[in-house]
Structure 1
Amino acid sequence: MEEAIAQLRAGESRPLPSGLAVAQGVFYVGTGVWPIVHLRSFEAVTGPKPEGWLVKTVGALIAVVGGALLLAGLRRRVGPELRLLAAGSAASLAAVDVIYSPQRISPVYLLDAVAEGVLIAGWCVSAARDWKLRGPQPPPPQYTSPEDAAGFPT
């Protein structure tokens, strides 16, 4: 148990977060690069886009996020910052998919929202497992005087 806690504190990851990071990374690199490499086929699936440059810009950003996730997952170094990036990216993309799909964008984006939802659920399960593994945390130190709070020896 102490070794597992030490690994968590060192930023090392177990199979679930590493696997999630790799899966999300591959998904994001693929979907991010696709409109850059072949916008016409991307639009054939997702519908026409009035601003090709904007689609490519968003694709590039998604691909960069995917690359970071993929690298961290392969190195088994999935720390809290990367978990936030992964879950936050999935939640942001899912929100856009759900909000705009019925009105302004192709319904095919609802399939993406489902994939993003699976990723979000995976990150939630991972966080719950980590929280359970850590167990109760000791309370923060209590200070009795301003000198103690400032770190002065008494």
Structure 2
Amino acid sequence: MQGLYWFITGVWPFLHLQSFIWITGPKQDIWLLYTVAALITVIGGVLLSAGLRQRVTLEIKMLGIGGAAGLIGIDVYYALNDVIRDIYLLDAAAETLIILLWFWADRKRL
């Protein structure tokens, strides 16, 4: 689920930059947007591949949880300080759900 979410949100700016900026707000450094989008796309693809192949190792889990936690911190801090639009708080909520699902999946395996 996380892999698909990250892959879609990662490729979005490459496919239609105008709609991405319309939703998320104006950007000063488009090169930085593309850099982050490329990383999110690649990580999303790796997470999606691991899930589909049922090869979710501890490293994959930590990549998913750690990446989501990092995005939560950035989303919340910068949205609450009026640097980015509040729409990013929805992403923080989605990332929180993703982390909870990682832990729920672990409990399910026991």
TM-score using structure 2 length? 0.94
**Runs of 4+ that moved beyond 4 A:** none
**Aligned residues of 1:39 and 1:52 also touching (Cα < 8 A):** no
Question: 1:75-134, CA deviations, whole angstroms, 9 ceiling, x for partnerless residues?
Answer: 01111010000111111111100111022000000000000000011112223445xx3x
The residue that corresponds to 2:87 in the other structure is: 108
The residue that corresponds to 2:2 in the other structure is: 24
Distance, in Å, in 2 between the alignment partners of 1:96 and 1:128 is 28
The residue that corresponds to 1:71 in the other structure is: 49
Unaligned runs of at least 5 residues, structure 2: none
Distance, in Å, in 1 between the alignment partners of 2:69 and 2:108 is 20
% same residue: 49
Distance, in Å, in 2 between the alignment partners of 1:96 and 1:127 is 26
Indicate the RMSD between aligned Cα atoms, in angstroms.
Answer: 1.1
> What is the identity, as a one-letter code, of the residue corresponding to 1:77?
R
The residue that corresponds to 1:37 in the other structure is: 15
**Aligned residues of 1:93 and 1:113 also touching (Cα < 8 A):** yes
**Structure 1 segment 47-66 matched on structure 2, within 5 A:** 47-66=25-44
Q: Larger Rg: 1 or 2?
A: 1
Question: 1:99 aligned to 2:99?
Answer: no
Distance, in Å, in 1 between the alignment partners of 2:29 and 2:17 is 11
Q: Give the structure with the larger helix fraction.
A: 2
Distance, in Å, in 2 between the alignment partners of 1:124 and 1:73 is 15
**Aligned residues of 1:101 and 1:107 also touching (Cα < 8 A):** yes
**Aligned residues of 1:27 and 1:66 also touching (Cα < 8 A):** yes
> What is the identity, as a one-letter code, of the residue corresponding to 2:23?
V
TM-score using structure 1 length? 0.68
Distance, in Å, in 2 between the alignment partners of 1:128 and 1:89 is 21
